[in-house]
Amino acid sequence: MVELKSDTALAAMREAGRVVARALAAVQETADVGVSLLELDEAARAVLRAAGATSPFLGYRPSFAPVPFPAVICASVNDAVVHGIPDGYRLRDGDLVSIDCGAVLDGWAGDAAVSFTVGTARPEDTALIADARRALEAGIAAAVVGNRTGDIAHAIGAVARAGGYGLPEDFGGHGIGRRMHEDPHVPNEGRPGRGYPLRAGLVLAIEPMLTRGGRDDHRTDPDGWTLRTTDGSRAAHVEHTVAITEDGPRILTLL
């Protein structure tokens, strides 16, 4: 079921989105060579605690998962695309890190992701992250009243394919509101003019995931969560929570 949000609800979601943005900023400030993924998770937890927010990730267990998710961030490094579980791994020079984080504040959710490099960045990683951001920007630009989810998908896919990147099969964005995952699904590739119609009040988490090797297949780690490229190539994941309004798309997960 798709729920259209009122102006009051959008204002509440904007506050949840600010918490997410602050958490992601804290993680990026903490990230450095030698810092563990668990320390990044604690940086995000501290922001959530200070805001009086809870995590929609912590304890989340969808049907595919063998265990509930044990952290407030997904920390995916190098060939991990999404859903990486923070552990004692310590960041190394040149690592490409994707962090996904959510927050629930006053009953409303926000969800966003960033990708960045630690220490000395490889030029190809810098390009990958920049293109992932361009794909996200294209998807957001297509999130207007009168379009459909297929228009968002097409905009993202066009940027990704033009750069020779892969798009993990069956993964994409989603509706969001009182729950982190709501209808409709928002693919990262599709045909324009198809899919669910975009109406004012619809809120979507738009999240391109690009793999540098150009392949769409993937594998899951034994932990049942971490999604990796099958060829070992690096990946980038970026995301914003975006409201569809009569005045155009409104990003809710900015500082």
| Token pair 């060829």 in the structure block, residue | 231
- Alpha carbons 78 and 243: distance in angstroms, whole number: 30
Phi, psi of 227 (to 5 degrees): -100, 125
| Whole-angstrom distance, CA of residue 18 vs CA of residue 11 | 11
Q: Tokens standing for 15?
A: 């506050």
Helix (H, G, I), strand (E, B) or coil at 224: coil
Known binder of ligand: residue 247?
no
Rounded distance between C-alpha atoms, residue 24 and residue 12, angstroms: 19
**Helices 37-51 & 7-30, crossing angle to 10 degrees?**
140
Answer yes or no: is 170 a known binding residue. no
Residue 125 annotated as binding?
no
Which helix H or strand E contains 215, and what residues bound it? none
* Cis? peptide before 184, omega within 30° of 0: yes
**Residue 44 identity:** A
Under 8 Å between Cβ of 242 and 112:
no
**Is 111 marked as binding a ligand?**
yes
Whether residue 7 is annotated as binding a ligand: the answer is: no
* Alpha-carbon torsion angle 131, 136, 140, 146, nearest 10: 90
**15 annotated as a binding-site residue:** no
Does 83 appear as a known binding residue?
A: yes
Q: Which residues are registered as beta bridge partners of 203? A: 243
- Indicate the annotated binding residues for a divalent metal cation: 100, 111, 174, 207, 239
- Indicate the annotated binding residues for substrate: 83, 181
- Indicate the annotated binding residues: 83, 100, 111, 174, 181, 207, 239
